[in-house]
Structures are given as structure tokens and as C-alpha cells.
Amino acid sequence: MSDNTAAPIEAPKPFTVTLNIRRYNPEFDAEPYWQSFDVEMYSTDRVLDALHRIKWDQDGSLAFRRSCAHGICGSDAMRINGRNRLACKTLVKDLDVTKPIYVEAIKGLPLEKDLIVDMEPFFNAYREVQPFLQASSKPEKERLQSVKDRERFDDTTKCILCAACTTSCPVFWTDGQYFGPAAIVNAHRFIFDSRDEASQVRLDILNDKEGVWRCRTTFNCTEACPRGIEVTKAIAEVKQAMIRGRR
């Protein structure tokens, strides 16, 4: 007779992680400072779960943005151990938990409180590239497009406007005037859309001194993108379209 006794399932074991968080409250602090928190975590927890635990159990004044908690809304980009990532897509166990985990706001945008920055300059640059379809024709049904033409801009449709790319770019850090990778990615999405008639307008906008020519091809943006978009390649394609004089 076979032994049907199943081995007991071991309950997952928690472990303690130290998070060093860059705090700043403009009402009280002259400068940002680091504050340390110890949190009990499980191997399935993400950095966002750690922030929730701190906010709910230890310090309700901790400020950060998040909405979907599943890598879709793009609201929780932050610097985790010096790299731009989404807190909701970063498993704590994938970091070195023998050392403190450093969490701070993304760089290059005005700091508002703790991990929250003012996103308005980022969205201003996005709006400036006219990220919407412009077509004069009025078809009775949908605007048809071949599979090949759709593939041309497939990669850049994946952007969730998290700003991880733009705020990892050293050119953007220097003066904040550069349009930045995310705006160029979203311009690319329409410049190479065969149904759109305003690609030349966007190419002219990005031919500006604060446009694509500021890119120094450091690839920080591509490494930072949580959606795996080939950001530097998209910027290079926009540059090539400018040199050709057409998309």
C-alpha cells in the first residue's frame, strides 16, 4: 500500500528588513534627511508593501503616491537603492536584504513631501509634443492600419507615464528644460503612426534646442523603464526621422 500522508506545508517565514527612507516635510524641515524603519516582510512582499506597513503601523505621516499597485498606473516610481523603479513591481527579496534598502524620491522634479515630487513639469513636456491622433479625414468606421504599420510604434504604446526614464536622465537633472525621454517616447508613438497627419509638427517641436539633440545616449532611460520600452532606440528613431525630413 502506498503512503498517502502529504508532507506538512511549512508556513512562510517572515524576515526583518531595514528601510532607510529620505524624508522631507516642507512645513518643518529645512533639508531632507534619512529615517530608518524596521519592517517584517515575506518573500512575496514588494517595496510598496513595506511602505504601506510603515505608513499603517509606524508613521502615518509618510507620504508617497500609489494607485493600482500592479504596475499599470505609473504613480509609484521612486529611487530604490539608487535605481529608478516602481515600488509595486520590486520584490523585497530581490534586493540585498542583509543591508538597509534606500528609498527616495525620483530626481530632477521639485520635491513636495517625502517620496512625492511635483509632476507638473513632466506632464507639461508631455503635453507639448501633442500626444494624440491628428487626422483630417472622417472615415465612416475605424481608421484601418496594416499589421506592419501598427508594429512600427508598438513598443512606445506601452508607456504608463511613470517618469522613471526622464528622472534617470543626467541631461534632465542638469536644468530640467530638456523635454526628456518620456515626452519623446510619446511623440514617437504618434510620429510613426501611419494614420496621423501631424508627425512633421512634432518633429519640428523636438528639433528645438531642448529637444532630441540634448540626448547623450547614456541608456539610463532604457534601463529604468519598468515596461521594457527601448527608450533610447525610440529617441534615435526620432533623430533619424529629423535627418530624413520625414517619418
**Min separation Cβ 231 and ligand SF4, Å:** 5
The b-or-e profile of 73-84 (16+ CB within 10 A means b, else e) is bbbbbbbbbeeb
CA 187 to chain centre: 16
- The residue range among 21-29, 48-56, 162-170, 187-195 that interacts with ligand SF4, by the rule CB under 6 A, is 162-170
Residue 108 neighbours by CB under 8 Å, 6+ apart? 166, 167, 169, 172, 173, 176
Residue 103 sits in the site that holds ligand SF4 (CB under 6 A): no
Applying the rule CB under 6 A, the residues between 61 and 90 that interact with ligand FES are: 66-69, 71-76, 86, 88
Instruction: Determine the Cα–Cα distance for residues 51 and 63; give it in Å rounded to an integer.
Output: 9
Residue 158 sits in the site that holds ligand FES (CB under 6 A): no
Residue 125 sits in the site that holds ligand SF4 (CB under 6 A): no
Residue 162 sits in the site that holds ligand SF4 (CB under 6 A): yes
131 contacts which partner out of ligand SF4, ligand FES, none, CB within 5 to 8 A by kind?
A: none
Amino acid at 124: N
70/127 with CB nearer ligand FES: 70
**Min separation Cβ 118 and ligand FES, Å:** 18
Return the C-alpha cell found at 226.
Answer: 519598468
Packing angle, helices 120-128 and 181-191, rounded to 10: 30
- C-alpha to C-alpha distances, 156 to 27, 86, 106, nearest whole angstrom: 40, 18, 22
Q: How many CB atoms lie within 10 A of CB 243?
A: 6
Residue 225 sits in the site that holds ligand SF4 (CB under 6 A): yes
Residue 169 sits in the site that holds ligand SF4 (CB under 6 A): no
Binding site for ligand FES (CB under 6 A): 66-69, 71-76, 86, 88
Residues that bind ligand SF4 (CB under 6 A): 74, 159-165, 181-182, 185, 224-225, 227, 229, 231
